[in-house]
Amino acid sequence: MRQPVTACIALGANLGDARHTLLQAIDGIGQLAGCTVMATSRLYRTSPWQAQGPDFVNAVLRIDTLLTAPELLQAMQALELAAGRERPYVNAPRTLDLDILLYGAGRIDSPELTVPHPRMMQRAFVLYPLADVWPDFVQLQDLQRVQDQPISRLD
């Protein structure tokens, strides 16, 4: 029997009702067979970083999953499609973006998936919500490194 793996998923959206879309995605991930949401960060508002369009709403989930990393990626992409995600160009505004940040202690480097996420330590919109769900993973110096990136908590 497969043992559950702890994974962290970044969620972001900046088109439509982004807050509502993120809340629906959190519910959707929690309903996936083989996935249990263990912790949900607060919601954050951020300006687009290396992207365009309106401000983003971001969050991070820590889950336990029985899915393999490729299965989890496929499930995340299905949720993005269900939310109307289109990919007209790199870093285009999006209705929903789901990224696997961490998958246990695993390291994956394939054309489809890189884990740990290669840019997560450079992004305030990932590190602040990640600190909410896994405070031992994010160090003070990590947050200091991104302190020039505007971010605010949503109530």
Catalytic residue annotation: 85, 94, 97, 99
Beta bridge pairs of residue 46 = 56, 151
Asked if residue 58 lies in contact with residue 77, where contact means CB atoms within 8 angstroms, the answer is no
Cα dihedral 28→30→35→40 (10° resolution): 120
Cα distance from N-terminal residue to C-terminal residue, the chain: 41
Task: Supply the DSSP symbol for 40.
Answer: E
Helix crossing, 69-82 with 18-30: angle to 10°?
140
* Separation CA 83–CA 86 (nearest Å): 9
* Whole-angstrom distance, CA of residue 99 vs CA of residue 125: 12
